[in-house]
Amino acid sequence: MINNSKLAGLAIGAAVFLVPALRAQQAPNAAQDPGPQISVDGYTYTQRTLFQRNIGGPDDQTTQFPPHKIIGNIYYVGTNSLAVFLVVTPDGDILINSTYERNLPVIMKSVEQLGFKLSDTKILLGSHAHGDHQEGDALFKQATGAQVMAMAEDVPALEAMKPGGKTHPIDRVLHDGDEVTLGGSTLVAHLTPGHTRGCTTWAMKVQEGGKTYNVVIICSMGVNPGVKLVNNPDVPDLAAEFTRGFETMRSLPCDVPLGSHTGMYNMQEKYAKLEKGGPNPFIDPQGYKVEMDIDEAMFHAILTQQQKDAAAGPGSTESTR
C-alpha cells in the first residue's frame, strides 16, 4: 500500500513546470495586460480576470479542497483550483489529472478520506499538456503502476515535460472519439484543440437516483494571456483549431459540467449548496452553455483585437506584447 512517506520521498525535488511551447507564446508584459473585455450573462470579464479565475493564487493550486462525491461514481479529489476527478469502478479506479508532482500527497489524502485507495487506480488520464494538469504523471505511475493514456496531438508536449529528468510515460495513445473503459464505466475522449493541440474533453454517462446523466469534463477553451491567435509561428492555424474545438464542445450533450479548473464550473459555490442538502447542484446544463458562451465570446474578442493589431502594423498594441 502506498503511504505518505513514500510519496513525499518520490516528490523530492519536484518543481513548477511550464510547458516550453506555452512560455514561447507569451510576451514579457502579458501578465500585466488585462486584454479584451466581454459581458456574458450579466457578468463582465477581461482576458486576465478569466485566466485568474481559473488558476487562482499559488496556494489555491496546492491547497486541498474538501473531497466529495459529485454524482454517480465520480468524486472530487483535487485542490482549490486544480481539478482532479476519481472515477470509482469495481475493477479499479480512473484518475483524471495528476496536476503538479507536489500535489500527489494531497490527492492521496483526499482519496483516502473518501474511503478509497490510491493504489487501486488503474488508469491515469489528463485534460491537456500543461504542467498544472499533467506534470505529476510520471510520479503517479511510479507510485501506483497506473496506465497513462493521452491524446496523440498532445504527445509531443507531454514528452517534453520531464520534471526531475523523468521520462513522461504514455502507455496508450488516444485519438478523437476513443473510449476508455474500466469496470463498466466508459469515458469518451473528445479532441477539443486550441488551448493545446491535443486538449481532451472527457464525456461519460453516470447513473443516480434512477436517472442517467451526461457528464462533460471541459478541457479548457480559454486563450491564455500572451498567446498569439494571429501570426503564431508554432501553430499558424491556431484560431481554426479553437473554432473546431468550440464546434465539438457545442455538440456534446451535458447535464453535469466539470472542468480542468474548478472555476470553470463554479465548484466552490456548488459545493456549498451540496453541503446544505437538496437537489444536486452539480446538475447544471445551463452552466455548461454559459461557460461555452464566455469562452467563445472571449476567443472572438481576442481574435478580433489581434487581427486589428496585425493589420495596423508594427506600431500596434499587440505587436509590442
Model confidence at 289, in pLDDT bands (50, 70, 90)?
A: very high
| Least confident window among 3-17, 217-231, 233-247 | 3-17
Model confidence at 9, in pLDDT bands (50, 70, 90)?
A: low
- pLDDT, tens digit (0-9, with 9 covering 90-100), for 166-218: 999 999 999 999 999 999 999 999 999 999 999 999 999 999 999 999 999 99
What average pLDDT does this structure show over 245-260? 98
What average pLDDT does this structure show over 4-14? 51
Q: Can you give the chain as a three-state secondary structure string? A: CCCHHHHHHHCCCCCCCCCHHHHHHCCCCCCCCCCCEEEECCEEEEHHHHHHHHHCCCCCCCCECCCEEEECCEEECCECCECCEEEEECCEEEEECCCCHHHHHHHHHHHHHCCCCHHHEEEEECCCCCHHHHCCHHHHHHHHCCEEEEEHHHHHHHHCCCHHHCCCCCCEEECCCCEEEECCEEEEEEECCCCCCCCEEEEEEEEECCEEEEEEEECCCCCCCCCCCCCCCCCCCHHHHHHHHHHHHHHCCCCEEEECEHHHHCHHHHHHHHHCCCCCCCCCHHHHHHHHHHHHHHHHHHHHHHHHHHHHCCCCCHHHC
Q: Which residues pair with 45 in a beta bridge?
A: 38
Give the chain's mean pLDDT.
91
| Least confident window among 17-26, 85-94, 116-125 | 17-26
Backbone φ and ψ of 138, nearest 5°: -65, -45
Query: In this predicted model, which residue has the larger pLDDT, 218 or 30?
Result: 218
Model pLDDT, residue 313: 81
- pLDDT, tens digit (0-9, with 9 covering 90-100), for 82-119: 999 999 999 999 999 999 999 999 999 999 999 999 99
Model pLDDT, residue 57: 87
Whole-angstrom distance, CA of residue 163 vs CA of residue 182: 29
Residue pair 174/192 in contact by the 8 Å Cβ criterion: no
How far does the chain reach from its first CA to its final CA, in angstroms? 50
How buried is residue 194: exposed, middle or buried, by Cβ count under 10 Å (0-12/13-18/19+)? buried
Task: Please say if the pLDDT value at position 315 is more than 90.
Answer: no
**Residues above pLDDT 70, as percent of the chain:** 88
What average pLDDT does this structure show over 290-316? 92
Characterize 204-214 residue by residue with b for buried, 16 or more Cβ atoms within 10 angstroms of its Cβ, and e for exposed.
bbbebeeeebb
Whole-angstrom distance, CA of residue 92 vs CA of residue 122: 6
Model pLDDT, residue 316: 54
Cα separations in angstroms, 160 against 59, 125, 134, 166, 266: 26, 17, 12, 10, 32
Domain parsing of the chain, residue ranges = 41-312
All three cell numbers of 60, joined, read: 489555491
Q: Which residue has the cell 472542468?
A: 259
**CA 177 to chain CA centroid, nearest Å:** 18
Model pLDDT, residue 253: 98
What homologous superfamily does CATH list for 41-312?
Ribonuclease Z/Hydroxyacylglutathione hydrolase-like (3.60.15.10)
Of 74, 298, 78, 303, residue with least CA distance to 205: 74
**CA 94 to chain CA centroid, nearest Å:** 15
Model pLDDT, residue 112: 98
Task: Please say if the pLDDT value at position 28 is more than 50.
Answer: no
Model pLDDT, residue 58: 80
Model confidence at 33, in pLDDT bands (50, 70, 90)?
A: confident
Whole-angstrom distance, CA of residue 226 vs CA of residue 4: 38
All three cell numbers of 106, joined, read: 494531497
- pLDDT, tens digit (0-9, with 9 covering 90-100), for 138-167: 999 999 999 999 999 999 999 999 999 999
Model pLDDT, residue 10: 59
